[in-house]
Structure 1
Amino acid sequence: MTERSNPIMSCNHHLLLKIFLSLLGAALAICFIQLGALDFMKTLIESGYSGTSHHAIFVKPKMGANLNRLIIAPANSPLQYPITGFTVSPMQKSLIPGLALQAQKGEAYKVSLSVNKGVLSVEDLLDGDQVEGQGRSNLTISSSNLTQLNDLLSRVTYTSTIYHIKTSDLFHFTFEDHEVMFPITIRRQTIPVLYDPGNDVNSQVTIVTKTFLRYEELNVLIKSIRMFYPRIKIIIADDSLKPEPITEKNIEHYIMPPTQGWFAGRNLAISQVTTKYFLWVDDDFVFLNGTRIESFVEIMEAVPELDILGGAVSGNQFYFKLKYEEGDEEEGGCLTRVKKEFHQPLPNFEDCILVDGVVNYFLGRTDAVRRVGFDPFLKRVGHSEFFMDGLGQLLVASCKGLSIGHQKHRPHGKYAYFRTQKKADGKRKVYHHFFKNYLKYLQF
């Protein structure tokens, strides 16, 4: 395992798989068209999942599609059922919406229903109703009258029998030679955690930073903040060898054991934030006339899906994209950081782009960043590693015009000794990521 290797040689086995899947998808599309199943394909694409005639079909959903929304499949086969969006609480009885049979006229009708992690029942059974398996995992409903059969199907309930806060079951629904499957999401309800929206930026945002031995720079930062935001709260995590007092008003100064490190300090500082957002700054930054926290907040409020919004430091709008290929059971994945690449522009904001990582000057949504956290193993050097851990969990953007300054460098012999990453530290960090993130290839 090495930090730098040939990514093509390391991960080329994924390329053939991608080509095969693309060709398979094209072949299936041609088959569907020839079979006259255009309406069915449209339903699949809009929903993201379906299953019919013994086959499960998975289609990538449109960007922004809400797959938690209940979608009922029209009877392209004789069976009508919820494609997706059916969510139940664990071990609580729930009515299954949308079950129906749309069959041609016949002498008798019989449908079979089954699940793996629960039991099925028909509510309010009457004498003469032909239902077998009531309260078990396999249920059969029969009738000579299609209207009566559909009335029974409309009263079918599901109850999971295993307690788990987040799992799923698979529902099988068959009639003659037709079979469909659809997922049942089993999820314990969560309680909302709300933040006071506040009246102004002072009640919406907390400024947070981590310091070590650089009190001269820290005081310059604080003075510049107070020039523009005299009432905003500042939180400082400090693991200096000999901490110095900070007596400014509305500042929370948290003293850590010495040399605990960069990410441990970030965790501590953000753990104390009580506002909806926090603004991360380094202790040697300086607020300028053009440093406007309100501009960050306006964009984040307009795009509630955003978790992190980055700006520019002394004109440097640093951002990057992470290219990740997942590993398998035999070997880990491949991860490459590509600077100055982005996914696409942020809709409705022409100066903003969607990325995977930004500079050390960003507005973060407090609850989202806390869920990812900062790995305290990283003591001397760490930044991109946070965005690695947040890949797929945090929606990140970078915008022009959100600027802050950087102070002139001041020599600090002791600071440089602790701050500079030694060769052995670099190796340990790489090995750490190979294990923690299950990688075989890593390139920054």
Structure 2
Amino acid sequence: MKTQYSKLTIAFVVVLGLTTIIILVLMGVSFSIEGSLTVRPKKMDSFPRACLCGGKDVSLVNSVPKDQINQTLKRRAEEYRKHQIRMNANLDVVLIAPSNSPLQYPSHGFTVEPLTKSLIPGLAVHAQKRALYKVSLSVSSGVLSVESTTDMDLVEGQGQNKLNISTQNVTQLNQLLSQVSYTSTIYHIKTRDLARFIFEDNEVMFPIIIKRTSMPVLYDPGTDVNSQVTVTTKTFLRYKELNVLIESIRKYYKDIKIIIADDSLNPERVNGSNIEHYIMPPAQGWFAGRNLAVSQVTTKYFLWVDDDFQFTSETKIESFVEIMEAVPELDIVGGAVGKNTFYFKLVYEEGDINEGGCLSRFFGKRHQPLPGYPDCSLVDGVVNFFLARTDSVRRVGFDPQLKRVAHSEFFMDGLGDLLIASCGSIRVGHQPKVDRGKYNQYRMPGKSEKTGKLALHFFKNHLKCVRY
């Protein structure tokens, strides 16, 4: 009876083992002679799955005229394809490291200049004694060489895209591997190659990032807040409020530079020292004015304020600067307007290539607290009172197509590029609202402008739906 049970147990174990091997093979896992695993990444879908729009989401395709939708979709698909190329989506390759592999290699961080020879760090084989050690290395966008060696009879494929090394001594093999260099044969400022490293039945892949080194662009912070920060604003038909703002700024910061972008219908002179007043064509809009103002900033940071704000004793620009200097990764720090600490979180699903993505905005939601600053939280968007890193905001920019319905849209465009915090303890005042008939006519958008904004999101942001 025991023998019968033993046979059944053995049979069960064998079947289970074979089943496991079949499953692993289907997953892309192969076995080496020594029992180590080399995991080859399976080819995944090129684009994420379609995202789902809910009942409160605004479907954007309806904002495009029906007689234009087919051509719009074609143009959008082509522009999205080019966008993927420009953003180097091929750099984001998932590589699974092998388990218990005898191969040592740089799994991450090997970056080279284009068309420039570089030694590949960390290549080695750790294996038990053999009569012959043979390895091969291959790349697709460059050539491989063994540098400064007299053992050329052990190397095959010198200066080509596939290199073979054979030797009877593992120490000698690793010495040769330590001298292997890679040279890209294509010029590109940011792309990648994949290297294959094979020893017997063990095979691994590792990325080689081909990237032109960028030069730093630095701002001299000077010695005080006046040389670190420029106050910027955009005005339209509200000179009374603008002058109150300027007077309040000068009460606390008498020497700081103020830049004003003005698209009023009949521009008026703005008086005061260290003020740059730029006159625009009439009614160009909110974001066009922001672009103009920010384009003239020469300091490391700029403080954005609306033209009807008012500085108070709680408006501490130095507090903004202190946070930005302490956390250099931050791009924007927002404050509060009166008692209103306005901030929001964005949730974005990329969606598929045909339909586009889904975006939702959640007011009052944050990602997490900013470490070391209990009054600050990491968010995706803030109120119109914020200190920003000048070069970071210039890289994103303000879309001048958005004239009146425009605030969150800047933060949408900067999603994934701007690290943003909201700090409610830094405040600015808001002047009492005054009924201005002509101003309100321009300020409040019509139905066609709202529809045009949705159509812009549909194409420019490759969105399927949004939830505000």
TM-score by length of structure 1 reads 0.84
AA aligned to 2:300 is: K
How far apart are residue 125 of structure 1 and its match?
A: 3.1
Alignment partner, residue 253 of structure 1: 277
- Distance in 1 (CA, whole Å) between partners of 2:359 and 2:181 is 45
1:277 and 2:262 aligned: no
Alignment partner, residue 55 of structure 1: 40
Identical-pair percentage: 68
How far apart are residue 297 of structure 1 and its match?
A: 0.6
- Distance in 1 (CA, whole Å) between partners of 2:269 and 2:352 is 52
How far apart are residue 198 of structure 1 and its match?
A: 1.3
How far apart are residue 75 of structure 1 and its match?
A: 9.3
Question: What SS does the corresponding residue of 1:252 show, helix, strand or coil?
Answer: strand
Match of 2:430 among 406, 409, 412: 406
- Distance in 1 (CA, whole Å) between partners of 2:130 and 2:196 is 23
Task: State how 1:173-252 maps to structure 2 within 5 Å.
Answer: 173-252=197-276
Question: What SS does the corresponding residue of 2:105 show, helix, strand or coil?
Answer: strand
Task: State how 1:333-372 maps to structure 2 within 5 Å.
Answer: 333-372=357-396
Alpha-carbon contact 2:98-2:204 (below 8 Å) kept: no
Alpha-carbon contact 1:324-1:335 (below 8 Å) kept: yes
Partner deviation per Cα, 1:257-292 (whole Å, 9 max, x = no partner):
111110011011001111111000000000011111
How far apart are residue 74 of structure 1 and its match?
A: 11
- Distance in 2 (CA, whole Å) between partners of 1:329 and 1:238 is 40
- Distance in 2 (CA, whole Å) between partners of 1:244 and 1:167 is 52
- Distance in 2 (CA, whole Å) between partners of 1:281 and 1:344 is 26
Alignment partner, residue 316 of structure 1: 340
Alpha-carbon contact 1:75-1:102 (below 8 Å) kept: no
How far apart are residue 127 of structure 1 and its match?
A: 4.8
1:329 and 2:314 aligned: no
- Distance in 2 (CA, whole Å) between partners of 1:230 and 1:290 is 16
Alignment partner, residue 128 of structure 2: 104
Match of 1:292 among 304, 310, 316: 316
Question: What SS does the corresponding residue of 2:351 show, helix, strand or coil?
Answer: coil
- Distance in 1 (CA, whole Å) between partners of 2:119 and 2:464 is 47
Partner deviation per Cα, 1:133-156 (whole Å, 9 max, x = no partner):
111111111111111111110110
Alpha-carbon contact 1:335-1:441 (below 8 Å) kept: yes
Task: State how 1:129-144 maps to structure 2 within 5 Å.
Answer: 129-144=153-168
Task: State how 1:365-380 maps to structure 2 within 5 Å.
Answer: 365-380=389-404
Alignment partner, residue 9 of structure 1: none
AA aligned to 1:266 is: R
- Distance in 1 (CA, whole Å) between partners of 2:39 and 2:226 is 58
1:124 and 2:148 aligned: yes
Alpha-carbon contact 1:327-1:438 (below 8 Å) kept: no
Partner deviation per Cα, 1:193-213 (whole Å, 9 max, x = no partner):
111021111111000000111
How far apart are residue 327 of structure 1 and its match?
A: 1.3
Alpha-carbon contact 1:121-1:156 (below 8 Å) kept: yes
Partner deviation per Cα, 1:67-90 (whole Å, 9 max, x = no partner):
9xxxxx999411101111110000
User: What do you get for the CA RMSD once the two structures are aligned?
Assistant: 2.0
**Cα gap change, 1:149/1:74 in structure 2, threshold over 3 Å: closer, same or farther?**
farther
5+ residue gaps, structure 1, are: 1-26, 41-51, 58-66, 68-72
**Cα gap change, 1:86/1:367 in structure 2, threshold over 3 Å: closer, same or farther?**
same
Alignment partner, residue 190 of structure 2: 166
Alignment partner, residue 289 of structure 2: 265
**Cα gap change, 1:249/1:187 in structure 2, threshold over 3 Å: closer, same or farther?**
same
> Which has the higher Rg, Structure 1 or Structure 2?
2
Question: What SS does the corresponding residue of 1:297 show, helix, strand or coil?
Answer: helix
Alignment partner, residue 19 of structure 1: none
Question: What SS does the corresponding residue of 1:124 show, helix, strand or coil?
Answer: coil
1:115 and 2:139 aligned: yes
5+ residue gaps, structure 2, are: 1-22, 43-90, 92-96
TM-score by length of structure 2 reads 0.80
Partner deviation per Cα, 1:69-128 (whole Å, 9 max, x = no partner):
xxxx99941110111111000000001011011111111100010111111111123155
- Distance in 2 (CA, whole Å) between partners of 1:116 and 1:339 is 48
AA aligned to 1:370 is: R
Partner deviation per Cα, 1:208-243 (whole Å, 9 max, x = no partner):
000111101000000000000000000000111111
Bigger relative contact order, structure 1 or 2, given CA contacts below 8 A and separation 6+?
2
Question: Which runs of structure 1 show a deviation greater than 6 angstroms over 4 or more consecutive aligned residues?
Answer: none
Question: What SS does the corresponding residue of 1:430 show, helix, strand or coil?
Answer: helix
AA aligned to 2:227 is: S
Question: What SS does the corresponding residue of 1:429 show, helix, strand or coil?
Answer: helix
Task: State how 1:424-443 maps to structure 2 within 5 Å.
Answer: 424-443=448-467
Aligned length, in residue pairs: 385
Alpha-carbon contact 1:306-1:394 (below 8 Å) kept: yes
Alignment partner, residue 86 of structure 1: 110
Match of 2:101 among 59, 73, 77: 77
AA aligned to 1:316 is: N
AA aligned to 2:194 is: L
Partner deviation per Cα, 1:302-349 (whole Å, 9 max, x = no partner):
111110000000110000000111111221110011000000011111
Partner deviation per Cα, 1:21-69 (whole Å, 9 max, x = no partner):
xxxxxx99xx9xxx9xxxx9xxxxxxxxxxx614249xxxxxxxxx9xx
How far apart are residue 393 of structure 1 and its match?
A: 0.3
Alpha-carbon contact 2:38-2:98 (below 8 Å) kept: no
**Cα gap change, 1:155/1:414 in structure 2, threshold over 3 Å: closer, same or farther?**
same
AA aligned to 2:38 is: S
Question: What SS does the corresponding residue of 2:409 show, helix, strand or coil?
Answer: helix
- Distance in 2 (CA, whole Å) between partners of 1:130 and 1:268 is 64
How far apart are residue 247 of structure 1 and its match?
A: 2.4
Alignment partner, residue 393 of structure 1: 417
Alpha-carbon contact 1:74-1:80 (below 8 Å) kept: no
- Distance in 2 (CA, whole Å) between partners of 1:137 and 1:128 is 17
